[in-house]
Structure 1
Amino acid sequence: MRLFECGTLVPGCDWHTRAGEDAEVVRRTVDHMRTVHGETVIRETMIDNIKARIRDDHTAGQTA
């Protein structure tokens, strides 16, 4: 699984998403940026910043 945590881009935001593909993580994140943070224009630099912060989620599927 791949993970994006919005707080790495927008300090104080606790939202995060997981998906199997980076493209789906980006799609969900762009939707979040529009609906929650009021971004009306998503520039290529924003996409690049999102992609740079996507990482492997090594905790996915683990149980405590």
Structure 2
Amino acid sequence: MKTFHCGSLVPGCEWHTRADSEADIVARTVDHLRQSHGETIIRPSIVEQIKARIGDEKDAA
């Protein structure tokens, strides 16, 4: 499972998400940036920054 915390990109933001794929994380994060932070243009550099901040969630078993 992959995780992303928006606060790692936008200081102070508490939003986070998790999904099985990096593509799902990026899509959810782009939607969040548009809806919550008013971003209208998502540049490739932002997508790369999102990807660089995606982490792997350890299985709790």
Q: Does the pair score TM above 0.5?
A: yes
Equivalent pairs, count: 61
Unpaired runs of 5+ in structure 2? none
Q: Which residue in the other structure is 1:14 paired with? A: 14
Q: Percent identity?
A: 56
Give runs of ≥4 in structure 1 deviating > 4 Å: none
* TM norm structure 2: 0.95
Work out whether 1:38 is the aligned partner of 2:38. Answer: yes
TM-score by length of 1: 0.91
Structure 1 unmatched ranges of 5 or more: none
Per the alignment, residue 47 of structure 1 pairs with: 47
* 1:4-62 Cα distance to aligned partner (Å, 9 max, x none): 0000000000000000000000000000000000000000000000000001011x5x3
Root mean square deviation of aligned Cα: 1.2
2 CA distance for matches of 1:27 and 1:19? Answer: 10
Mapped to 1, the partners of 2:8 and 2:40 lie a distance apart of 20
